[in-house]
């Protein structure tokens, strides 16, 4: 009965694939899982988007995700507040997002809430962010990071932004881990926990977004630290 917010060091780092993997891993342990994408941008109405990816990889229903909720969708691939303004559409409100996440957290063992882009991207009215949602819910935030050179700073900045608001970072997940990691990536396995003070709790292998559902759901639990996963649900 809890919410876990999912942010990234930026857009395109693998938040959605990591969210799908975590949903599959939680399902494998018998938990009921819901996934919420408050603000989808850059997709036409009713077509594609992050929840469609999660549904494709994990499935919806008795053996899959119990519920998926998208609160707003804007046409242009921009930050949600900008995309809403340019489209002349209603902006999301902090109350809407917090209310939806809280209800999903009540109704399911685990409610995963994926932001848009990085932590401080403005999701809607008055420039509220996923960090504000975490504060209101008292929920932790999982950070999905690029494994490559440059990520130490991005992760440290994000973790510092969370700490300054009294929000716990639940862990760092590497969004796309190559078969042959380079020197910086290999060093980051130790440097990321040391620099941020946050545990590395998962590594999503590169390419798994193309797996079929059976393989994705079978392999997903192995991409996370077992003890951390058990602590979630």
Ligand X SMILES: C[C@H](N)[C@H](N)CCCCCC(=O)O
> What's the burial of 163, exposed, middle or buried (CB within 10 Å: 0-12/13-18/19+)?
middle
Applying CB under 6 A, does 117 fall inside the site for ligand X? yes
Applying CB under 6 A, does 161 fall inside the site for ligand ATP? no
Q: Is 176 annotated as a binding residue?
A: yes
Contact pick of 43, 50, 109, 146 for Mg ion (by CB under 5 A): 50
Q: Which 38-97 residues touch ligand X, going by CB under 6 A?
A: 41-42, 77, 79
Round to whole Å and give the CA distance between 15 and 9: 9
Applying CB under 6 A, does 221 fall inside the site for ligand X? no
Q: Judge whether 211 counts as a catalytic residue.
A: no
Binds 13: which of Mg ion, ligand ATP, ligand X, none (CB < 5-8 Å by kind)? ligand ATP
Binds 121: which of ligand ATP, Mg ion, ligand X, none (CB < 5-8 Å by kind)? ligand X
The beta-carbon contacts of 186-191 under 8 Å, at least 24 apart in sequence, are 188/147, 188/148, 188/151, 188/152, 191/152
Nearest-approach distance from CB 41 to ligand ATP, in angstroms: 8
Applying CB under 6 A, does 161 fall inside the site for ligand X? no
Q: Which 90-149 residues touch ligand ATP, going by CB under 6 A?
A: 116-117
**Are 10 and 146 within 8 A, CB to CB?**
yes
Q: Cα-atom radius of gyration of the chain, to the nearest Å?
A: 16
Applying CB under 6 A, does 209 fall inside the site for ligand X? no
Round to whole Å and give the CA distance between 131 and 80: 15
Phi, psi of 153 (to 5 degrees): -65, -45
Contact pick of 104, 201, 208, 233 for ligand ATP (by CB under 6 A): 208
Q: Could you say which of 8, 24, 37, 111 is catalytic?
A: 37
For 150: left if phi > 0, alpha if psi spans -120 to 50, otherwise beta; the answer is left
Cβ proximity to ligand ATP: between 9 and 96 the closer is 9
Applying CB under 6 A, does 175 fall inside the site for ligand X? no
Applying CB under 6 A, does 121 fall inside the site for ligand X? yes
* Closest among 141, 140, 119, 145 to 202, alpha carbons compared: 145
Applying CB under 6 A, does 35 fall inside the site for ligand ATP? no
Cβ proximity to ligand X: between 25 and 54 the closer is 54
Residue 74 three-state SS: strand
- List, in sequence order, every residue forming a beta bridge with 65; answer none if it has no partner: 60
**Are 188 and 147 within 8 A, CB to CB?**
yes
Binds 206: which of ligand X, ligand ATP, Mg ion, none (CB < 5-8 Å by kind)? ligand ATP
| Residues identified as active-site | 37
């Amino acid at each position: 009965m809890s919410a876990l917010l999912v942010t990234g060091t930026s857009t395109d780092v693998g938040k959605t694939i990591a969210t799908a993997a975590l949903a599959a891993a939680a399902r494998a342990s018998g938990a009921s899982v819901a996934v919420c994408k408050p603000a989808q941008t850059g997709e036409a109405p009713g077509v594609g988007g992050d929840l469609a990816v999660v549904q494709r990889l994990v499935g919806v229903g008795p053996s899959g995700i119990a519920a998926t909720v998208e609160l707003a969708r804007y046409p242009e691939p921009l930050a949600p507040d900008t995309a809403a303004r340019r489209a002349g559409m209603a902006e999301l409100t902090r109350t809407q997002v917090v209310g939806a996440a809280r209800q999903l957290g009540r109704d399911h063992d685990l409610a995963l809430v994926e932001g848009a882009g990085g932590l401080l991207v403005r999701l809607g009215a008055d420039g509220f962010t996923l960090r504000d949602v975490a504060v209101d819910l008292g929920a932790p935030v999982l950070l999905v990071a690029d494994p490559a050179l440059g990520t130490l700073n991005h992760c440290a900045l994000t973790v510092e932004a969370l700490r300054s608001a009294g929000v716990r970072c639940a862990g760092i997940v590497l969004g796309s881990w190559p078969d042959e990691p380079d020197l910086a990536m290999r060093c980051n396995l130790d440097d990321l926990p040391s620099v941020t003070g946050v545990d590395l709790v998962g590594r999503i292998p590169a390419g798994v977004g193309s797996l079929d559902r059976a393989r994705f759901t079978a392999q997903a639990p192995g991409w996370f630290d077992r003890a951390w996963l058990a602590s979630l649900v």
